[in-house]
Structure 1
């Protein structure tokens, strides 16, 4: 038998998820109430201090 997945060990699910279960529904940030900081990460607005240059790319069709 296979060992439990991290999600199973956390009690989030009682079985290993199939590919269909994992990717069957996409949650968009406007459909889910994200905390402000998480929204910044999703929109790639957080700068990495260790990098000398933080390049931005304004995606026209991303959102």
Structure 2
């Protein structure tokens, strides 16, 4: 996610604490938050896809998803 969008999320959060947000700003904040969460999830999944477990014998096994 672009730093500009993260800065906008922070601006809206600060404004919500001080003066409140309009309906348009609320929907913008919600959309930006969804985008941020999706970006975070993609990053976490990518990191976990490259994670290996090493047992006591030194054997590596790929981390698997739970069903």
- Normalized per residue, the structure richer in helix is 2
TM above 0.5, yes or no, is no
- Normalized per residue, the structure richer in strand is 2
TM-score (norm 2): 0.22
Structure exhibiting the larger radius of gyration computed from Cα positions: 2
